[in-house]
A and B are shown apart, each in its own frame.
Chain A
């Protein structure tokens, strides 16, 4: 079992609200990722971090922002939620050891609905 946690699991919120999706991992992984997935569709990378104080944008444009102040935390923030932000947000992490460095472990996801 992967030790990566996302809260909340479900969130229904009104347009214009500021929200933060939490992601924490206890594996000491230096790399963390945020993916976005609509129902029945592929996962798209929106943010990643390769260590403390590093944040990078993925290949899917997103109005969200992220921060990485501590190794174990990688929260995602939407300053003003809109219905177009309705989606599932998945957090993942990976380490740097071993030949297969790409094993990413995912959290359970946050399903966001913006009304």
Chain B
């Protein structure tokens, strides 16, 4: 099973780019990389996902290395509201009926400082 390694915490200044790394050296060829974040006391929020290519949406960019063993989530202009726990997920448990469980690790607690 693919698992991820993330730093437990990071700090970033408001207005700067926040770069959150994730190692997933045992990822399989067909496993996606998902990023979610959880702001205090709220449900996890989907951010972005990718398979091989770099991806960008209105929230963030996802850079996946060519060997797919690591990735970086980039928040280009971090604001105070981006303070949250960020989860990199590659492991998915297959359930009945095609349902799939996301396996959340400990994540990275990102603090945006004014």
Q: Report A's interface with B, CB cutoff 8 A.
A: 2, 6, 31, 33, 42-43, 45, 48-51, 54, 56, 58-59, 88, 90-92, 94, 96, 99-109, 111
Contact = CB atoms under 8 A, between A and B. Distances in A.
B44 A48 contact: no
A106 B98 contact: no
Size class of the B contact interface (CB-based, 8 Å): 20 to 34
A42 B104 contact: yes
Contact of B44 (A58, A90, A94): A90
A63 B44 CA distance: 24
B107 to A, nearest CB: 9
Contact of B46 (A45, A96, A103): A103
Contacts of A56: 95-97, 99
A33 B98 contact: no
Contacts of B106: 42
Contact of B97 (A31, A108, A109, A111): A31
A103 B34 contact: yes
